[in-house]
Amino acid sequence: MMGTGNFTDEFKRDAMVQITERRYPAKWVLERLGVSTHLLYAWKRKLAKAVSGDTEKDAENCRLKRALVRVTEQRDILRKGAAYFAQHAK
């Protein structure tokens, strides 16, 4: 029976690196590490989901930064306009 114990996140990442970056066959990796196919692919799904979540967060951060720049520019224009009209209103 293959291991189903608690594995560290580092162990899981290393297993995924062997498959995704080093291109070792999944069957070879799972036999070598002593984990089940189900467990190995569960780790892969979890990692893919985490990476996807990071990508979505990065995209949201970029969108928010662009919005901040736009709003800051609008605020500066309004300040200059208010200062201009305050000077000429007297």
Q: What is the pLDDT of residues 57-69, one digit of tens each?
A: 888 999 999 999 9
Domain ranges of the chain: 9-88
Q: What is the largest CA-CA distance in the chain?
A: 88
pTM of the prediction?
A: 0.49
Higher pLDDT, 90 or 47: 47
